[in-house]
A and B are shown apart, each in its own frame.
Chain A
Amino acid sequence: DTEVTQTPKHLVMGMTNKKSLKCEQHMGHRAMYWYKQKAKKPPELMFVYSYEKLSINESVPSRFSPECPNSSLLNLHLHALQPEDSALYLCASSPVGLAGEVEQFFGPGTRLTVL
C-alpha cells in the first residue's frame, strides 16, 4: 500500500470551531509532514514528525496543534482559525533520512475554508 489518505476531503468551519484533520499511511514510514498550500503557491512546511516525535515546527501559530498518536497516524487539530488560514492542507510521509535524499509521498489534501 503506497497511499497516504487524508480526511476529510473538504472542511468548512467557523472561527470559533474546533476541528481535526487526519492523515494515515501504512508504508512503514517514520517521518510525517504537514504542509499548507495557498492557491497558485508552493507547499509550505508546517510540521515534521520523526519517530512519532515533533522534530520541526516552522513557527506555526498555536491555533494549529499537531499530534502523532502512532507511526501510521498524523492529526492536525484546529482551533480559533482565521479566514486567512483557508488553504489546502497536505500530509506527506517518507522514510527517515536527509530531506533531499528521500521521496515524500503526499496525500490528496484537505481543502479547508474558514468563514
Chain B
Amino acid sequence: SQQGEEDPQALSIQEGENATMNCSYKTSINNLQWYRQNSGRGLVHLILIRSNEREKHSGRLRVTLDTSKKSSSLLITASRAADTASYFCATDPSGYSTLTFGKGTMLLVSP
C-alpha cells in the first residue's frame, strides 16, 4: 500500500526558479526520505529527516517535516535543467520494516 502522497503530481518551472514538492502520509513514522529518479533509471537517495527534526538542508535542498500534519516538503532552490526528474518521498510506517514510496512528483526544469 502507498503511504505517501506527493503534490503536485507534475511541476514545470524555468531554470533558476525554486521548486517545492509536498508529501503527505497517513501513519506515524520514524523517518522520511526523499529520492530522485531520472527518467527510467534507478533512484538516488537525496536526504533523510528524522521524526524529531523539523528542517534539514543539503546543498540546494531544504526538507521540512511536520509530524502533527503528517506532511513533508522538499524545496530545490535555483533549479537547473539537470534537476528534471521524478521525486519520491519514502516513509517507514512504525512497526513495519520496509520503505513505502509515495506517488511522486515529476519536475520539469526548462532552460
Contact = CB atoms under 8 A, between A and B. Distances in A.
Interface of A: 4, 40-45, 48, 55-56, 88, 90, 92, 98-101, 103-109, 111
Contacts of A107: 42
Interface of B: 2, 29-33, 40-45, 48, 88, 91-92, 96-104, 106
Contacts of A98: 30, 92, 97
Contacts of B98: 45, 48, 56, 99
A100 B91 CA distance: 6
Contacts of A101: 30-31, 48, 92
Prevailing SS type, chain B contact patch: strand
A111 to B, nearest CB: 7
A109 B99 contact: no
Contact of A90 (B2, B31, B42, B92): B42
A85 B100 CA distance: 20
Contact of A45 (B31, B42, B99, B106): B99
A103 B33 contact: yes
A108 B41 contact: yes
17 contacts: A42-B88, A42-B102, A43-B88, A44-B101, A48-B98, A55-B97, A56-B98, A98-B30, A98-B92, A100-B91, A100-B92, A104-B99, A106-B42, A106-B43, A107-B42, A108-B41, A108-B42
Contacts of B30: 98, 100-101
B40 A88 contact: yes
B43 A99 contact: no
Given A41-B103, A43-B43, A103 B48 contact: yes
Given A42-B101, A101-B30, 4 more contacts: A40-B106, A45-B99, A101-B92, A106-B43
